[in-house]
Amino acid sequence: MCDLSIVIVSYNTRELTARCLRSLFAFASDLRIEVIVVDNASADGTVHLVREAFPHVRLIANATNVGFARACNQGLRQARGRYVMLLNSDTEFRADVLGPLLRRLDAHPEVGAAGPRLVYPDGRTQHYSAARAKSLLGTLAQYSIPRRREIPLYLKPLDPSGLLYETESISGAAMIVRREVLETVGLLDEGFFLYGEDADWLRRMRRAGYKIACAPDLVLVHHHGASSRQDELRREIEAVRSNARYFAKHGGCGQVFLFRVGLALVLILRMLSLDLARALFRGNWARLRRDTVLLKYVLAHRVGEITSCACSSSIRARI
Q: How many domains does the chain have?
A: 2
**Average of pLDDT values for 214-233?**
81
pLDDT (tens digit per residue) in 172-185: 999 999 999 999 99
36 and 90 belong to one structural domain = yes
Average pLDDT over residues 245-250: 95
Among 228, 254, 283, the domain boundary falls at 228
User: CA 122, CA 192: separation in Å to the nearest integer?
Assistant: 31
Could you tell me if residue 169 is inside a domain? yes
The answer to whether residue 55 is domain-embedded is: yes
Verify that 35 and 103 share a domain, yes or no: yes
Which of 191, 211, 228 is a domain's end point? 228
Q: Do 220 and 249 share a domain, yes or no?
A: no
pLDDT tens-digit readout, 43-78? 999 999 999 999 999 999 999 999 999 999 999 999
Express each pLDDT in 259-315 by its tens digit.
999 999 999 999 999 889 989 999 999 989 999 999 999 988 654 555 554 454 434
Instruction: Identify whether residues 219 and 81 lie together within a single domain.
Output: yes
* Containing structural domain, residue 236: 231-313
Instruction: Return the bridge partners of 137, or none.
Output: none
Residue 319 lies in a domain: no
Instruction: Tell me: pLDDT of 155 over 90.
Output: no
253 and 212 co-located in one domain = no
pLDDT band for position 316 (50/70/90)? very low
- Regarding whether 167 and 20 lie in a shared domain, the answer is yes
Amino acid at 89: S
Q: Which has the minimum average pLDDT: 11-25, 100-114, 276-290? A: 276-290
Domain assignment of residue 318, yes or no: no
**Same domain flag for 46 and 89:** yes
Give the 3-state secondary structure of residue 129.
Answer: helix
Q: Based on the domain organization, do 238 and 146 belong to the same domain?
A: no
**Domain shared by 274 and 171, yes or no:** no
Q: What is the longest distance spanned by two Cα atoms in the chain?
A: 60
Task: State residue 233's pLDDT score.
Answer: 87
Q: Are residues 241 and 294 in the same domain?
A: yes
Residue 18: count of CB within 10 angstroms of its CB: 17
What number of H helices and E strands is found in the chain? 13, 10
Residues with Cβ within 8 Å of residue 237, at least 6 apart in sequence: 294, 297
The enclosing domain of 51 has a CATH number of 3.90.550.10
Planar angle of CA 233, 235, 239, nearest 5 degrees = 115
Same domain, 94 and 50: yes
Do 131 and 169 touch, CB atoms closer than 8 A? yes
Q: What is the DSSP letter of 316?
A: H
Of residues 239 and 159, the one with the higher pLDDT is 239
Are the beta carbons of 207 and 113 closer than 8 angstroms?
A: no
Identity of residue 311: C
Rama region for 94: left / alpha / beta (φ>0; ψ in -120 to 50; rest): alpha
* Reduced DSSP (H G I as helix, E B as strand, rest coil) percent helix, strand, coil of the chain, to 5: 45, 20, 35
Residue 316 · residue 247 · CB < 8 Å? no
| CA-to-CA separations, 131 to 77, 117, 138, 278, in angstroms, rounded | 28, 11, 11, 30
d(CA 133, CA 176): 18
Let me know if residue 119 belongs to a domain. yes
Residue 183 and residue 63 in one domain: yes
To the nearest 10 degrees (0 to 180), the angle between helices 197-207 and 68-78 is: 50
Q: What is the pTM of this model?
A: 0.90
